[in-house]
Amino acid sequence: MENMKQWQMTELKEEFVLTESPLPEISTQEAIVKIAGCGVCHTDLSFWHDGVRTKKELPLTLGHEISGIVISGPPELEGKNVIIPAVLPCGDCELCRKGRSNMCQNQLMPGNDFHGGFASHIVVPHKYLCPVPDSVLEEYSLEQLAVIADAISTPYQVLKKSELESGDFAIVIGVGGVGLYGALLAKIMGAKVLAIDISDEKLAKAKANGVDAILNSGGKSIKEVKDEVRQIAKDIGASKYGWKIFEISGSTPGQELAFNLLTYTSTMSIVGFTMDKLNVRLSNLMAFDAKLIGTWGCKPELYPEVVDLIASGQLRIHDFVETFPMSQINDVFKNTLEHKYDKRSVLVPDFQ
């Protein structure tokens, strides 16, 4: 059997190092997946550049947005094309039994709790591997579909959790990467969608892919943005109540804007992450009978629904994914840090 090759993080901000070792023995609960592609997520950048601690000590192979082929494991899975969920729950604890498996406190995350996807192979629990139908592979390569594991599934879960209904006014703040998928998924679900960002380029891409309206909030006061949002809602025939607000920028200005856009019976969902603290009046939630919710990843039970959206042609991802040889990992991470890409980068194994 071939060896496992991995690009490993050995120190903060240092270049990844190529290692090689024999494939390990696996338990009856595990599978070996030969990796087709692994997406580069900002969580990976946080581990590599910002000093966010990983659960497993270094050296560590990062990467949690993974697709591949099962080469060893249960007979019914061997040879199957799969997506590996970015959060792998135990399936048996109290939270899992209550349908909150994405918050399982026994969860395992590739590239955090154990060696991840910037490698030739990965050993993972097989319980929640998500098969990819052959029909999807007639249009997309398996490596392109790696983005399902996080960039698409994460906004999908929060849209479901927000109880978004057809005809609702959905406001997506931050439409780079995850946010763009969030806006497109909201449109697929029948919402009237407004994309807000400070980048004309990102907004133009959102508009070209079907959102109803765009708004550049750069240099504008919160009051000015609120006035424009109200007018946009009126122009596109959206209700002035029950707005579904999705904060995906992970920035202080984005979160402040999102909270200030709350209106009667609104729901505000926090998807983006920042260490900064806000000074807000929580009594607004009472006054507007509004809801404020958070979300973490996506429970594996929802992955087949995401795959179905792509299989049916409702969600098209060709324009949002760019692949690179995995041997270029050091350049890709540096370029991603410098915001040089406008598509999700997926690293494809090219080991000799």
- Across-strand partners of 81? 69
Cβ 218 vs Cβ 202: under 8 Å: no
- Taking phi over 0 as left and psi of -120 to 50 as alpha, with beta for the rest, 219 belongs to left
Question: Are β-strands 344-348 and 30-39 bridged in parallel, bridged antiparallel, or unpaired?
Answer: antiparallel
SS3 294: strand
> For 231-269, how does the pLDDT look when each residue is reduced to its tens digit (9 = 90+)?
999 999 999 999 999 999 999 999 999 999 999 999 999
| Maximum C-alpha span of the chain | 64
Asked whether the predicted pLDDT for residue 177 surpasses 90, the reply is: no
Give the chain's domains with CATH numbers: 4-150+298-348 (3.90.180.10), 153-294 (3.40.50.720)
Q: How confident is the model at residue 1 (pLDDT cuts 50, 70, 90)?
A: low
Q: Which of 296, 300, 318 is nearest to 144 (CA)?
A: 318
- Res 164: pLDDT: 97
Mean pLDDT score across all residues of the chain: 96
> For 287-332, how does the pLDDT look when each residue is reduced to its tens digit (9 = 90+)?
999 999 999 889 999 999 999 999 999 999 988 999 999 999 999 9
Q: What is the pTM of this model?
A: 0.93
> For 22-49, how does the pLDDT look when each residue is reduced to its tens digit (9 = 90+)?
999 999 999 999 999 999 998 999 999 9
